[in-house]
Amino acid sequence: MSAPLPPAAPVATAPTGPSPAAPPAPPTASRSVRESEAAPSPQPPAPEPQAPASAPELQAPAPEPQAAQPQPQPQAPETRESPASPDARLVRRTLGEIGPVADKVTAYFYALLFTRHPELRGLFPAAMDTQRDRLLKALLTAAEHMDDATVLTEYLQHLGRGHRKYGTEPGHYPAVGEALIGALTRYATTTWDKETEAAWVRTYTTISQIMIDAAAEDERRAPAWWHGEVVSHELRTPDIAVLTVRPDQPYPFLAGQYTSLETPWWPRVWRHYSFASAPRPDGLLSFHVKAVPAGWVSNALVHHARPGDVLRLGPPAGSMTVDHTTDNGLLCLGGGTGIAPIKALVEDVAERGVRRPVEVFYGARTDHDLYDIDTMLRLRQSHPWLQVRAIVDRSTQLPELVREYGPWNEYDAYLSGPPGMIRRGVDALRGVGVPSERIRHDALDELVAAAG
């Protein structure tokens, strides 16, 4: 096995140009409704197999799903116009080999990490089940964007900033790199050689340094987390609660963004939730939370949290925000608790005082699921430029219904809700001519990973 990696060195500039592999939803794609969660679980919450990874792990930014073990993505054929860099080819070749044994690779990775550096175990949540796919998923994402320096850097900077709340320090990265190389050496038996190892060392050094630099820059501007006191807790349905939280210091964010929450009942387990209102003069934050089966955080927030309890909040993130440089209308599709960030976007438009047309489609399977319809109807009464349509139907799909209205040529689209609704919505809107760059939504892989 190779020697331990040195501390991250200056970043090697990644070659520019598009990646030959078809990339997943770009890391910059908006994510909003982490509260797109399933149904309630028994009390107290059962161990949730989807606990997010803690800092030292290379993990995708939004953690915790009901997703299947990720497999390496098929590599698109390289073209003369966009050949992969030598390091990218070697890294992807390794990932292709370890894909079928990804669970063994990640298990061995953590065994090495915790055996050689037991002090790092405390940075991770108690349940490690969900860690089995995060490392590979993050590596796949990074590998697919290795030759696009701009996208790769933005993705890794987001990870670096987000890892601060786990207590990650620069000195942790070499330990993670050493365990990673050790695991790859053991399982990439046919593709591993000195040249491949050198490519991985260079790649990991670049990755870790970008994350370290982003965390250091963020440390100068904001705390790693905020404390927030629950000041109100309203149970709208047996499994949906609306929480209002007062942060202990100013918390800047934009309507349409989201944050991560940690409860006192499950330390080091974070889940992502969208802000359910635009920034308020009193600084209070609002969240809509649906309890999901075996969801540690969601069940704690819905069934156990009470006024006076103190949560921890990570930094705001996400780009599903209103473009105020255009007068395009807003076409908003919100399914279930996905209505939360949609409501925030409507408030944001209202506060600007500009009469832009806003069309909101609020989808639910039953009337019972329209838990926030009264709020949306009050907003419609106050703002003549706002149209709200409640769609209640178990069989009809919301995105298909939206195609019957329109046209949407002069609208920017915002989709928030379950992953299936997002996928169908994107397809439906593209089908009626809405350009992809005017469709904003939760990043699907992160959405799937957000429930809990």
Number of neighbours of residue 120 by Cβ within 10 angstroms: 21
Classify each residue of 102-116 as buried b or exposed e, where b means 16 or more C-beta atoms within 10 Å of its C-beta. beebbebbbebbeee
Q: What is the pLDDT of residues 242-301, one digit of tens each?
A: 999 999 999 999 999 999 999 999 988 889 999 999 999 999 999 999 999 888 999 999
Pick the CATH number of 329-448 from 3.40.50.150, 3.40.50.80, 3.20.20.70, 2.60.120.260: 3.40.50.80
What dihedral angle (degrees, nearest 10) is formed by the CA atoms of 338, 259, 300, 226?
A: -150
Q: Is pLDDT above 50 for 205?
A: yes
Distance CA 311, CA 301 (A): 10
pLDDT for 394 equals: 64
Q: Rounded to 5 degrees, what are φ and ψ at 296?
A: -60, -55
pLDDT for 262 equals: 94
Q: Is pLDDT above 50 for 5?
A: no
More confident residue, 410 or 16: 410
Fold of 226-313: Elongation Factor Tu (Ef-tu); domain 3 (2.40.30)
Distance CA 87, CA 107 (A): 25
pLDDT for 285 equals: 98
pLDDT for 386 equals: 97
Per-domain residue ranges of the chain: 226-313, 329-448
Nearest by Cα to 344 from 409, 427, 288: 288
Q: What is the pLDDT of residues 115-168, one digit of tens each?
A: 999 998 888 776 666 555 666 677 767 777 888 888 888 888 888 888 888 888
Can you tell me which residue has the tokens 């209103």? 322
Q: Is pLDDT above 90 for 380?
A: yes
pLDDT for 124 equals: 78
Average pLDDT of the chain is: 79
Q: What is the pLDDT of residues 32-80, one digit of tens each?
A: 334 333 333 333 333 333 333 333 334 333 333 333 333 444 444 443 4
The pTM of the whole model exceeds 0.75: no
Q: What is the pLDDT of residues 311-352, one digit of tens each?
A: 999 999 888 999 999 999 999 999 999 999 999 999 999 999
